[in-house]
A = this chain, B = another copy of it.
Amino acid sequence: MSPLTAELNTGDSFDQQGQLPPRGWITAFPAVQTERQTDTDLGVPGEAMKLQEPSVESSGSTFTPLVVLELTLDAKEEAVAWLLSRIRDPQQNGGAELLVEQLGPGVGLQEKENPNMFLVGASRQRLLSGAEDVGLFKEFNDGSMRGFTCSNKHNFKDFQGDGDNFLSMAECQYIIKHELDTLRAKDETHVPGYTQTKLYPGKSIIRRLLSKGILIQIFPLHENEELKRLCFTWYKKVKLSLQPLDDIRHYYGEGQALYFGFLEYFTFALVPMALIGLLYYLFDWEDYDKYVVFAMFNVIWCTLILELWKRFSASLAYNWGTLSRKKAFEEPRPGFHGVLGFNPVTGRQEPLYPNAKRQLRIYLVSLPFVLLCLYLSLYVMMIYFQMEGWALTVHDEDPTFWTGILLFIPSIIYAIVIEIMNIIYRCAAEFLTEWENHRLESSYQNHLVLKVLIFNFFNCFASLFYIAFIMQDMVLLRQSLATLLITSQILNQFMEAFLPYWLQRRRNKKLIRKLRKRRTLEDKELPLAEQVRLEADMSTYLGTFDDYLEQFLLFGYVSLFSCVYPLSAVLVVLNNITEIYSDAFKMCRVFKRPFSDPAANIGVWQLAFEAMSVIAVVTNCALIGMSPQVKAYFPESEMQLILWTVAIEHGLLAFKFILTFLIPDVPKHIQIKLSRLEFESLEALKKKKMLEASEFSKSVQ
C-alpha cells in the first residue's frame, strides 16, 4: 500500500523519509497573516487550531483558513462584494460575523486561474458561540456528554485557558458551514448584479448562490499534519489493532467514523461465519445436503449482529455526543423550486410545490420507470441463462480445459453487466429523484435510497433466487454465487479506489512537474495558494451512500445464500479488510475533505439491513425445506414437509421480532447517563422556578 501513497499528494513527497514536517502549511504563506489584522474587532487572540506556531501567535490575533468558497470565474464584482460583506457583518446586523480573505494568486501555472476563491475563518469567540448555536455536545467535567454553552464553558473537560484546541478543526469547519448556510437574506430582493436571481427575506443566501451556479463549491481544507498522523495510525502501518475510530471522527466527523465503525464491526461479525465456512470447506462438509445447520446458524446470526450493532452504534454516538443532540430545523434543499407562497410552518415566503403533483410524478413516472428497469434486468438475466446453457452444451459435447473455463465466462460477463446496469440505473434514479422535486434533503435521500436499493437488490439477487427456487440447481447456485461475488468485489475495488487514485495521481504529477519547471521548490511544502487550488481540483466525496450499498449487497450474499457456498463469508471478510484500507486511502488522499456530518446512527441503512435479514430468514428456511436431508424426514408426504417448514419459518420470524423487541437499543449504562442528564435538567428547571417564585414573593412583600 505504501508505494501507492507516495507522490499522490504533494504533502506526501517528503513523507517517505518518515519525518513529520515541523510546521503546518499555514506558516509557509505569510501573505495571509499580514492581512489578518483587518478583522480583529473582537480582539480575541489565538485561534482554535492546532497548527499554530508560537512565533505566529505572538503577533496577536491570527487568521486560520478553515473553509474555501469558490465562486465562478465570471462572478459579478458587486455580488462578490455583497457576499463578503454579508459574511463579515456582525450578527446583530444579520451577518455571519466570520472572517474572509481572498486567496492570493498562485504561481500562475494554469492558464485561467480563478481569482474568486475565498478563505473563511472565524475568531475563537465566534466559533464557541457557533458551537452553542449548532448544539454541539462535548465531554463535561463529570465524564458525561452535554450540550456546550458559552456561559458554562469552563466546566467542560478539555476547555483550558481561552479555549484553544477545545474544538477540533472538523467541528470548526462544521460550525462555519452551519453559519454560512443559515446566513439569510434580509431586505434584498435579488443578488446584486443578478437581477434574475431573486431572494426572499429569510432564505439562505449560500444555498441560493449554489443552486444558481454563482457559487461553485464550498469545502473544508485538509490539515496536512493531522492527516499524515491519521494516515499513519489508520492504514500505513501493518497492525492488528482496530481502526482509530476516535481519530477518524476527530478529523472527518461522526458520519464517516460511524461508517468505518460499521465496516469494522460487520467484518468482525463475519469472522465466526467465515471460520465455520472454512471448516465446511476444509473438511469437505460441503455436500449441499448438509447446510441445514449452517442455515440455522445464519438466521440467528443475522438477527443478533444487527441488534448488537444498534447498541454498539449507540455507544459510539453517545461518546461522540451525537446521540442526544437535537436535529436542527431542516431547510429546503438547494435544488428545490416552485411557485412563491407562504410556508405554513415558518410563515415565510418561499417556493412551494404541491405535494399532489409530486405524488403524481412519483407514481406515474418514477414507479413505472423502476418497474421497467426491473423488467429489463429480468430480460438480461434470461439472456445470461441462455448463455449459461449454451456454454454447458459446448462443454458437454467436447470437454477440454478451455470449455471448462468457458463455463465461468457467462457468469463473469453477467456480473460485469450487473455492475454497469447498477451504475446507469443509479444515474437515472438520481435524475428522477431530483425531478420529483423533494423539498427536504432527507426526503430526497429516502426516495433515492429506496429506488436504488430495490433495483440493486433485484439486479444482484434475482438470478440467484431463480436458480435456487425455480431451477433448484444447487451446483449452479454455488458456482453463480461465487462468480458474482468475486467479480463484483474485484470490480468494486477497482472502481472505487484504484481508478480515482490513478486519475488523481496523473493530475498531481503534471502539476508538480510544472511547478518544478517554474521555480525550484526550496521549501518542501507547497504554498497555501497552491495547496488550496490543488484541493479544489480533487474529486468531491459524495457521502457514504455507495459504501453502505456495497456492504448491503455483501450482507445479502452472505445472509441469503452462504449456506450453499460457505466460503462466501470468507470472501467477504477478505474483501472488507482490503475495503477498510482502500476506503481509508481514498478518504485521505483521493477526495476533498468532506464536511463532518453529526450522525447519531447509520439511518435508513439500519432499516435496509433489517429488511434483508427478514428476507434471509425466509430464504434460509426455504433452502432448508428443499434440502434432501430434511426431505428424508418426510419420505411419505411432501405436504407435511412444506407445512413444517412454513411453521418453523413463522416461528423464527416471530422469535426474531421478539428478540428485536427484547434487546434494548441503547446499552444500560448509557441509558442511565441519558436519564441522569434529563433528570438534572428537570431539577434545574424546578430550582429556577422556585427561585423565581421566592423572588416574586419577596418583591410582593
Interface positions of A (Cβ within 8 A of B): 90-92, 129, 132-133, 328-329, 344-347, 618, 638-639, 642-643, 646, 650, 672, 675-676, 678-679, 682, 686, 689-690, 693-694, 697
A679 CA to B639 CA, complexed, in Å: 60
Distance in Å: Cβ of A124 to nearest Cβ of chain B:
15
Distance in Å: Cβ of A688 to nearest Cβ of chain B:
12
Contact A678 B329, beta carbon cutoff 8 Å: yes
Contact B690 A91, beta carbon cutoff 8 Å: yes
Most chain B C-beta atoms within 10 Å of own C-beta, residue among A646, A675, A678: A646
CB-defined contacts of A639 to chain B, threshold 8 Å: 638-639, 642
13 of the cross-chain contacts (CB-CB < 8 Å) are A91-B690, A129-B689, A129-B693, A132-B689, A133-B689, A329-B679, A329-B682, A344-B672, A344-B676, A346-B676, A347-B676, A639-B639, A639-B642
Distance in Å: Cβ of A446 to nearest Cβ of chain B:
11
CB-defined contacts of A133 to chain B, threshold 8 Å: 686, 689
Contact A91 B345, beta carbon cutoff 8 Å: no
- Please provide the 10 A-B residue pairs with the shortest distance between their CB atoms, ordered closest to farther: A92-B694, A345-B676, A345-B675, A344-B672, A642-B642, A646-B646, A638-B639, A345-B679, A329-B682, A346-B679
Residue of B nearest to A675 (CB): B345
**Out of B91, B643, B676, B697, which one reaches A642, CB within 8 Å?**
B643
Q: A642-B642, A642-B643, A682-B329 are in contact. Are A690 and B345 (CB under 8 A)?
A: no
Q: A642-B643, A675-B345, A679-B329 are in contact. Are A91 and B693 (CB under 8 A)?
A: yes
CB-defined contacts of A694 to chain B, threshold 8 Å: 92
CB-defined contacts of A91 to chain B, threshold 8 Å: 690, 693
Contact B642 A92, beta carbon cutoff 8 Å: no
CB-defined contacts of A346 to chain B, threshold 8 Å: 676, 679
A416 CA to B686 CA, complexed, in Å: 53
A346 CA to B678 CA, complexed, in Å: 10
Distance in Å: Cβ of A260 to nearest Cβ of chain B:
29
A49 CA to B511 CA, complexed, in Å: 83
A328 CA to B686 CA, complexed, in Å: 12
Residue of B nearest to A93 (CB): B694
Residue of B nearest to A685 (CB): B133
CB-defined contacts of A642 to chain B, threshold 8 Å: 639, 642-643, 646
Contact B345 A650, beta carbon cutoff 8 Å: no
A678 CA to B90 CA, complexed, in Å: 26
Distance in Å: Cβ of A540 to nearest Cβ of chain B:
30
A689 CA to B133 CA, complexed, in Å: 9
Contact B697 A92, beta carbon cutoff 8 Å: yes
CB-defined contacts of A344 to chain B, threshold 8 Å: 672, 676
**Out of B92, B328, B650, B678, which one reaches A618, CB within 8 Å?**
B650
Distance in Å: Cβ of A470 to nearest Cβ of chain B:
12
Contact B345 A672, beta carbon cutoff 8 Å: yes
Distance in Å: Cβ of A180 to nearest Cβ of chain B:
16
Residue of B nearest to A182 (CB): B686
A133 CA to B686 CA, complexed, in Å: 8
CB-defined contacts of A345 to chain B, threshold 8 Å: 672, 675-676, 679
A682 CA to B672 CA, complexed, in Å: 28
CB-defined contacts of A618 to chain B, threshold 8 Å: 650
A672 CA to B342 CA, complexed, in Å: 13
A689 CA to B672 CA, complexed, in Å: 31
Distance in Å: Cβ of A449 to nearest Cβ of chain B:
14
CB-defined contacts of A678 to chain B, threshold 8 Å: 329
Residue of B nearest to A92 (CB): B694
A132 CA to B91 CA, complexed, in Å: 33
CB-defined contacts of A92 to chain B, threshold 8 Å: 690, 693-694, 697
Distance in Å: Cβ of A13 to nearest Cβ of chain B:
46
Distance in Å: Cβ of A148 to nearest Cβ of chain B:
13
Distance in Å: Cβ of A507 to nearest Cβ of chain B:
43
CB-defined contacts of A129 to chain B, threshold 8 Å: 689, 693
A373 CA to B311 CA, complexed, in Å: 35
Distance in Å: Cβ of A18 to nearest Cβ of chain B:
48
A675 CA to B650 CA, complexed, in Å: 40
Distance in Å: Cβ of A324 to nearest Cβ of chain B:
14
A650 CA to B646 CA, complexed, in Å: 11
A635 CA to B582 CA, complexed, in Å: 58
A307 CA to B678 CA, complexed, in Å: 32
A616 CA to B686 CA, complexed, in Å: 48
